[in-house]
Structure 1
Amino acid sequence: MIEIGLCGWGDHSELYREAGASRNKLPVYAHWFRVVEVDSTFYAIQAPQVMEKWASDTPEGFRFVIKAYQGMTGHARGGKGGHPFDGEEAMFRAFLDAIAPIRAAGKLMAVLFQYPPWFNCTRQNVDVLRSAKARMGDVPCGLEFRHQSWFAGEMREKTLAFERREGWIHTVCDEPQVGDGCIPIVEAAADDALTIVRFHGRNANGWVSAGQPNWRDVRYLYRYDERELAEWAERLRRLERLSDEVCVLFNNNSGGDAADNALQLMAMLGQLPPRGSYELAPPKEEPEQLKLFELD
């Protein structure tokens, strides 16, 4: 089974044209997709009451991929050990308490651990991964790297073997190939039940713009064309033979392209949104990411 969704539900205005300016967009989103990635949990651990509302706002069969808090993956700066909690144990416990309502509702697909570009393949970092997985107990956990050393040369098979042995869900990424802070497409599975696929776009200029003004607005500025999606449709069918389920998440949100690309891919795979019909936005005359870097 291949399930397709988006990263976040608040930035996709095309989905809400018929619903008007609704403040509660999640129920409308669930008319289009059966899975969503929660990104807000990366920036702050949400209150359990918030998670409980998300569970109640979505229909039976809907599921969440919840992104691990930034302190759990070494992104956080400042505070006690890089986070505002009294130790690692307290931080992980707070996160587990927060997601408990989603788990109780049977709507948790996985928690996604996305490690930063400076988290390279070392023995110390392997120990970090083991510790994080142990703290999560029986919660299904996806693993996404951002440093190519994990999949360079012979490390590719060693990393996949580690994921299988330690019980991680492999995350396949489509992203720009620029420098060490990226990984190639690693078409493989580490878990019989689930493989996660994340589409970050292929905007190479935007990918290396971190730290520059408005970098968040350009990093994921990319629209996949029909040929690129067709190639992925075939790849997803192969991945489907390796895991019972493949969860596909579009993160190319900067220019509002994620929803259209996701629906386009669903059509290629013979799928319809839960509500049964949709309209794609007309193709853009010129990719917005090209205009962004034009010289005056």
Structure 2
Amino acid sequence: MIYIGVTGWGDHHSLYPPHIKPKDKLAEYSSHFLTVEVDASFYAVQPIKNALKWVNETPDQFRFVVKAYQGMTGHQRTDIPFETKAEMFQAFKESLEPYQQANKLAMVLFQFPPWFDCKKENVNYLRYCKKMMGDIPIALEFRNQSWFSEKYRSSTIHFMKEQGWIHTVVDEPQAGDGSAPTVPVATDSNMTLIRMHGRNVHGWTRPKNAETNWREVRYLYKYNEKELLEWKEHVLTLAKSSKDIIILFNNNSGGDAAGNAKDFQKMLGIEYEGLSPKQLDLF
């Protein structure tokens, strides 16, 4: 099955009726799409009550991609509220239990930072992550092009297959070392993840301490029909190697992600069954 959605559910205003309350947005979101990325889990290990609420607000067919906590991927190196890595991983795994019990956990996404390059130390850390996560499906996204350089590309793909990582295929600006190329290869026969970040090179490379909030410009991009048609071919090819494909649009600095996701759904001729009912009146 091909699942199409977006990253997060809070800021996609085109999906919601006016004056909708934040607490009602996920239920309304699931009347449009059957998958979403949970990004709150990147900033803090979420309390179980949050996952329970989200699971209960979505239909049976809904699937969550939960982003790994930033301490697990090396984005946050100080002030981590855990004494050991083992404690951190254990707390994160416990936070996943409601998704697992409801059969709504598609995977956990490990997105590594631009400075996480292809070297022995980092390869060993990936092995450690896989060991700590056990049989939980985990996806791997790189933000450093060295992993797919001519020297290491085949080894990286072989490693992911051997270790049981789900490949996160990306579309993003090609902006030097701190970006990864599109490598439309499946490493897991059950699942492949695709994340669409847009192609705004200038926004991608803007310093985080710039006057304008970097998040407001980094993902400022709207995919055109030609670009989506290119991705249609990628998706149909990948679907021959993976049973399920999850596609998440992250190009939302200008509010374009949900619209592009809808466009892509139509382009692929997909009509989802089992969505939540739309709310006609909100008070």
**How high is the TM-score relative to the length of structure 1?**
0.90
CA RMSD of aligned residues (A): 1.5
4+ residue runs over 2 A deviation = 272-278
SS at match of 2:178: coil
- Amino acid in structure 1 at the alignment position of 2:41: T
Q: How many residues align?
A: 274
Mapping for residues 58-77 of structure 1, pairs under 5 Å: 58-77=58-77
Partner Cα distance (2:262, 2:207) in 1: 29
Mapping for residues 226-241 of structure 1, pairs under 5 Å: 226-241=225-240
Could you give the per-residue CA deviations for residues 7-56 of structure 1, whole angstroms, max 9, x where no partner exists? 00001000002x64232200000000000000110001110011011000
User: Contact (CA 8 Å) 1:210, 1:216: kept in 2 or not?
Assistant: no
SS at match of 2:177: coil
Q: Tell me the CA shift for residue 155 of structure 1.
A: 1.0
Q: Check if 1:106 corresponds to 2:98.
A: no
SS at match of 1:180: helix
Could you give the per-residue CA deviations for residues 158-186 of structure 1, whole angstroms, max 9, x where no partner exists? 10000000000001000000110001100
Partner Cα distance (2:97, 2:181) in 1: 34
Unmatched 5+ residue regions in structure 1? Answer: 279-296
Alignment-derived partner of residue 281 in structure 2: none
Partner Cα distance (2:124, 2:131) in 1: 11
Alignment-derived partner of residue 5 in structure 2: 5
Alignment-derived partner of residue 257 in structure 1: 256
User: Contact (CA 8 Å) 1:120, 1:149: kept in 2 or not?
Assistant: yes
Q: Check if 1:266 corresponds to 2:265.
A: yes
- Amino acid in structure 2 at the alignment position of 1:4: I
- Amino acid in structure 1 at the alignment position of 2:45: I
Partner Cα distance (2:11, 2:260) in 1: 14
Partner Cα distance (1:228, 1:276) in 2: 30
Alignment-derived partner of residue 286 in structure 1: none
Residues 273/218 of structure 1: CA separation in 2 closer, same or farther (3 Å cut): farther
User: Contact (CA 8 Å) 1:130, 1:166: kept in 2 or not?
Assistant: yes
Partner Cα distance (1:244, 1:210) in 2: 39
Alignment-derived partner of residue 31 in structure 2: 31
Q: Check if 1:132 corresponds to 2:129.
A: yes
User: Contact (CA 8 Å) 1:220, 1:253: kept in 2 or not?
Assistant: yes
Residues 54/276 of structure 1: CA separation in 2 closer, same or farther (3 Å cut): closer
Alignment-derived partner of residue 96 in structure 1: 93
User: Contact (CA 8 Å) 1:116, 1:147: kept in 2 or not?
Assistant: yes
Residues 189/95 of structure 1: CA separation in 2 closer, same or farther (3 Å cut): same
Q: Check if 1:50 corresponds to 2:47.
A: no
Q: Check if 1:148 corresponds to 2:139.
A: no
Mapping for residues 75-86 of structure 1, pairs under 5 Å: 75-79=75-79, 83-86=80-83
User: Contact (CA 8 Å) 2:36, 2:63: kept in 1 or not?
Assistant: yes
Alignment-derived partner of residue 219 in structure 2: 220
Alignment-derived partner of residue 119 in structure 2: 122
User: Contact (CA 8 Å) 2:27, 2:276: kept in 1 or not?
Assistant: no
Partner Cα distance (2:68, 2:92) in 1: 8
- The one of 155, 159, 163 aligned to 2:160: 163
* Bigger Cα displacement from structure 2, 101-110 vs 20-29: 20-29
> Between the two proteins, what is the percent identity of the paired residues?
50
Partner Cα distance (1:268, 1:68) in 2: 31
